[in-house]
């Protein structure tokens, strides 16, 4: 019984990293040492991955080969309140407002800033608060 408690305490949260650029997943693995990074490259692969296993959060590139962050966010509605973080080279206030308005969790700029990625994913993994409040509070 004690071994199960210890194993549970060390289990890592899983982040679904959706990006055509596998370099993003490599960067996330280096930044988020306490997370398991599950890389996929398309919206379709993301949905298939979520059917197979649970993830604590999704970090999605703005544009994907078979859609974009908004398409993925709409498709993910059937999986419940899964926090979706969008990443983009064009991360600006307009995109951030758009992400929040569509039910996304937050926006991170590329190149990825380790401190910001850790902050946002940490907040997302504890997303019991409304998303729009979390974006400001964390």
Structural domain boundaries enclosing 78: 13-137
Task: Determine, yes or no, domain membership for 79.
Answer: yes
- Kindly tell me if the per-residue pLDDT of 129 is higher than 70: no
Residue 2 backbone zone (phi > 0: left; psi -120 to 50: alpha; other: beta): alpha
Distance in angstroms (rounded) separating the CA atoms of residues 20 and 15: 16
107 domain-assigned: yes
Q: What is the pLDDT of residues 103-125, one digit of tens each?
A: 999 999 999 999 999 999 999 98
The reply to whether 80 falls in a domain is yes
Residue 138 has pLDDT above 50, yes or no: no
Residues 46, 72 contacting (CB under 8 angstroms): yes
Residue 27 to residues 66, 67, 124: CA-CA distances in angstroms? Answer: 23, 23, 18
pTM for the model stands at 0.83
**What CATH number did the domain enclosing 94 receive?**
3.40.50.2300
Structure tokens at 97: 């407002």
Task: Count up the domains in the chain and report the number.
Answer: 1
């Amino acid at each position: 019984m004690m071994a199960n408690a210890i194993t549970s305490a060390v289990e890592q949260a899983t982040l679904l990293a959706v990006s055509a650029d596998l370099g993003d997943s490599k960067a996330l693995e280096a930044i988020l040492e306490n997370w398991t990074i599950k890389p996929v490259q398309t919206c379709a692969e993301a949905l298939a991955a979520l059917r197979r296993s649970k993830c604590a959060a999704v970090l999605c590139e703005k544009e994907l080969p078979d859609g974009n962050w908004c398409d993925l966010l709409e498709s993910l509605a059937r999986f419940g309140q899964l926090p979706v973080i969008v990443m983009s080279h064009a991360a600006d206030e307009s995109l951030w407002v758009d992400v929040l308005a569509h039910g996304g969790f937050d926006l991170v700029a590329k190149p990825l800033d380790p401190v910001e990625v850790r902050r946002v994913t940490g907040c997302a993994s504890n997303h019991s608060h409304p998303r729009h409040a979390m974006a400001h509070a964390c």
